[in-house]
Amino acid sequence: MNIDLSNLKEPGSSKSIQERIKIPAFEFQKQEIETPYLFDLDLNIINTSDSFVLTGQLSGVLSLVCNRCLEKFEYELQVEIEEELLKEEVESIERINLIGILQENILLALPIKNLCSENCKGLCTVCGQNLNEEECNCERETIDPRLAILKDFYKKADHEG
């Protein structure tokens, strides 16, 4: 979504935007930032003499992948926006890339570590079982991974036989 600021030519003029907007999913450091729902945007834009200043709030929900268990989880987000666009750096005031600005602000508000919960137990390093859902029988600290495969094999054979 681009916004048109050409009607804000006079220094001191301002406008506000209150909208539910779609922010497309994007990628950051090989991490997919999914945006399953609309976001609430409440933004005020003012023309200072040499820049446009954007202030306001963006709130919504992201879908992120947990660093430990690799499951998706929803992350609620509220971002304070404070952005200054220098006029000399704005290519065209009829087409300000608002989505790009909002995506950058979302990145700044991301958690340092994506965890579905503080207590996420992650995956078993041997069999890959999601330990939040079920404990497995692996001896994770001591077992030789090759033995683990064998053990798994016998367990399966047991079930099938």
Task: Say which residue the tokens 């979504």 belong to.
Answer: 1
* Position 68 contacts Zn ion (CB under 5 A): yes
Residue type, 40: D
Binding part of the chain for Zn ion, among 19-27, 41-49, 60-68, 91-99 by CB under 5 A, reads 60-68
- Nearer residue to Zn ion within complex by CB, 34 or 42: 34
Interface pattern 102-131 for Zn ion (x via CB under 5 A): --------------x---x---x-xx-x--
Compute the residue count for the chain.
161
d(CA 112, CA 106): 13
CB of 61 to Zn ion, least distance (A): 17
* Position 69 contacts Zn ion (CB under 5 A): yes
For 27, 74, 113, 120, the CA distances from 71, given in Å and listed in that order, are 17, 10, 14, 10
d(CA 94, CA 5): 6
What is the DSSP-derived secondary structure letter of residue 68?
T
* Position 79 contacts Zn ion (CB under 5 A): no
* Position 151 contacts Zn ion (CB under 5 A): no
List interacting residues with Zn ion (CB under 5 A): 66, 68-69, 116, 120, 124, 126-127, 129, 136, 138
